[in-house]
């Protein structure tokens, strides 16, 4: 099935509200658990970059998982970041640990040396996937650990509909719509491997970890 693009940014008020208030406890906790299970240097993580942080739920979970780390969390949606920043105001324990930054990924620059660069469900939003891989290559050092999770494009629209009905049928209509569209906009496993090879990131591993998710991980 050919990839079908979806909007790069989530800026509709109803989208922001739906995603910010949805119950993603299980998948987001699984994301953090897989990151920790695959990373051999957890105790050395002090500086973190979250690319495409959205409303910040995983950002806060990473702050809990890597106590004392300083996190730069970047997103191109001002609406998503406003929600995240409002949550941060009510969580004084994270003050000074999390810095939410409004920027498109391709425009973000930093002189920091990051120990960890991660992203969840950003890749499929990008019309050009090399925006993510080139930015990682630009910002990572030989010591940086990379962990990317994203959706896996199914073979047919019928399979995408089945996955939608299996996992989000009880969610609001807008979440069902976006999940389906995101599946159609995602990449196949081999496409991601080709992207990594072309970006000079062939040392990163690529694995399918569920019927709808892949991870890309390893040291730069």
pLDDT(8) > 60: no
What pLDDT digit, counting tens, does each position of 119-133 carry? Answer: 999 999 999 999 999
113-117, 137-141, 175-179, 204-208: the lowest-pLDDT one? 175-179
- Give the number of C-alpha atoms closer than 13 A to the C-alpha of residue 112, restricted to the C-beta side: 16
Fold for 13-219, please state it: Rossmann fold (3.40.50)
**192-211 burial by CB neighbour count: b if 16+ within 10 A, else e?**
bbebbeebebeebebeeeee
Sketch the domain layout of the chain as residue ranges. 13-219
pLDDT digits (tens, 9 = 90+) for 173-189: 888 999 999 999 999 99
């Amino acid at each position: 099935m050919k990839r079908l693009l979806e909007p790069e940014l989530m800026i509709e008020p109803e989208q922001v509200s739906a995603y910010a208030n949805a119950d993603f406890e299980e998948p987001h906790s699984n994301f953090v658990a897989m990151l920790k299970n695959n990373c051999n240097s957890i105790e050395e993580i002090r500086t973190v970059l979250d690319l495409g942080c959205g409303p910040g739920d995983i950002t806060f979970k990473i702050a809990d998982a890597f106590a004392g780390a300083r996190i730069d969390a970047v997103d191109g949606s001002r609406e998503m970041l406003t929600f995240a920043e409002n949550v941060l105001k009510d969580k004084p324990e994270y003050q000074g640990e999390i810095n939410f930054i409004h920027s498109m990924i391709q425009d973000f620059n930093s002189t920091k040396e990051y120990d960890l660069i991660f992203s969840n469900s950003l890749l499929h939003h990008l019309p050009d996937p090399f925006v993510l891989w080139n930015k990682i290559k630009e910002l990572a050092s030989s010591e940086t650990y990379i962990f990317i999770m994203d959706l896996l494009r199914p073979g047919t629209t019928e399979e995408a509909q089945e996955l939608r009905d299996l996992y989000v049928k009880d969610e609001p209509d807008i979440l069902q719509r976006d999940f389906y569209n995101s599946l159609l906009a995602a990449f196949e496993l081999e496409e991601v491997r080709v992207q990594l090879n072309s970006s000079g990131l062939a040392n990163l591993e690529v694995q399918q970890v569920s019927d709808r998710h892949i991870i890309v991980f390893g040291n730069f």
